[in-house]
Every structure is written in structure tokens, then in C-alpha cells.
Amino acid sequence: MKQLISVALLLLAALFVVGCSGTDKQFHIGVSQCSEDAWRKQMNGEILRETFMYGNVDVEFRAANDNNEKQIEDIKYFINKNVDLLVVSPNETDAIASIVETAYDRGIPVVIVDRKLNSSKYNAFIGADNFQIGKSVGNYISSLSAGNLKVVELKGLTNSSPAEERHEGFVSAFEHHPNLEVVASVDAEWLRDVAFEKMDSLLIAGTDIDVCFAHNDM
């Protein structure tokens, strides 16, 4: 998926460059990441690498560290800089919709990456089918045993679209696999330390668990 994201952003940047070829204009891309984990650092590195193919494109990254207010301020910063392209991975579906719409209404092209936005005011979305991911996990877990399986779900951040869609897809698999039982479903916020604490509490409480479904690898 990271390669798809970097290639797509490269193509968008190339459109700006080709559209105004022969000018000395410098093209500025602002990237607003919701967090700063290893996966997103790798994505940022790939985006930056692609921009090196052009002499008149630069990119600036800002990370919100899972804070809606910080991401709103980051996007305001890019709007005030009048960037030529705004790339956003929303922390939550609703919380930053208004400020993204402001950027779009100002004429700044907007690409939403990975997590969805509760608005139609953007130019492109690049991301996975998270509902199908969750459903595939449910189908796979059911295939592990013909008997009943007790499952713990460590979800991503509540109100972030991948967490909601992975959960919905996972639950949809239960219609065809009655041997699955979710004994706990907790919000791990996409964070390793939080997931560790929540899982540890379940184990200490003596929760009967056969399988753990974590929404992300961290």
C-alpha cells in the first residue's frame, strides 16, 4: 500500500509540474499526518524520494501525534502558506472535516490518504478496503477450528474510519460463522502501549481467549 500511495502522490505532483512546464514556479506540497509511527515515517520517506525527480517541487510534513486540535492547526498552517497540494491523513473522520473543507474552498487540491473524511470536499482518496480486511480476518479465524472460538478485538482509534470499517467487516463475518464469539472489544487507539495495557488487563482478569484480532501490527 505504501508504494501505491507514493506513486499516486508522484503522479499528482507531476500533473502540477507538467501543467506549468517552462515556468520557474516552485510547487509546494503540504502533508498532514495524523501520527508519527514507523509506517508513516516510511510513507513520508517514499513521498520525499519521489519529489527528488523534480527540481521545482518541495514537500513539508507535519504530524499531529493523534491530536485533532494539533492537526487542525497544522492544516491551517498549510492553508496560510497557500500550498499547491494538501495531503491529509485524518486523525478522526469528523473532527477535521471543516478545516479540510476550508482548504478545498480556497482552491487548494486535497488528497485524503488512508483514513476517510466525513466530507465530499476533496479531490482524491487513496486507501485500502478496510471492511474487506475485517471480513477476511473473521473468515480466517473461523477456519482455525470447527469448534467455538472466543476472540478479543483490539480496535484502532474510535471515530477513525479504518477502525470502524475493520470492526464492521469483522462482525459481518459472524453471520456465516456462528462459532465465533467476541468476549471483549476494546479501543487500543492504534498505539502499542495502550494495546499492551488493555490486553494485559484482560489476561489478569482471567478472560477466556482463543484468538486476538489486533487492528494493526503495532
Using 50, 70 and 90 to split pLDDT, how confident is the model at 56?
A: confident
Average pLDDT over residues 107-130: 92
Q: To which residue does cell 488493555 refer? A: 198
Using 50, 70 and 90 to split pLDDT, how confident is the model at 154?
A: very high
Query: For position 54, what pLDDT does the model report?
Result: 79
Cell of 200: 494485559
Query: For position 33, what pLDDT does the model report?
Result: 96
Average pLDDT over residues 95-114: 95
Summarize pLDDT for 157-196 with one digit per residue, the tens.
888 889 999 999 999 988 888 888 999 999 999 999 999 9
Asked if pLDDT for residue 17 goes beyond 50, the answer is: no
Query: For position 128, what pLDDT does the model report?
Result: 87
- Give the range among 46-55, 59-68, 90-99 with minimum mean pLDDT: 46-55
- Among residues 117, 100, 174, the alpha carbon closest in space to that of 141 is found at 174
Across the chain, what does the average pLDDT equal? Answer: 88
Asked if pLDDT for residue 119 goes beyond 80, the answer is: yes
- The Cα–Cα gap between 95 and 107 comes to 21
Break the chain down into helix, strand, coil percent, rounded to 5: 45, 20, 35
Average pLDDT over residues 102-128: 93
- The dihedrals phi and psi of 21, each to the nearest 5 degrees, come to -60, 150
Compute CA 163 distance to the chain's CA centroid, rounded to the nearest angstrom.
9
- From first CA to last CA, the distance across the chain in angstroms is 17
- The Cα–Cα gap between 200 and 36 comes to 25
Query: Does the global pTM surpass 0.85?
Result: no
Using 50, 70 and 90 to split pLDDT, how confident is the model at 146?
A: confident
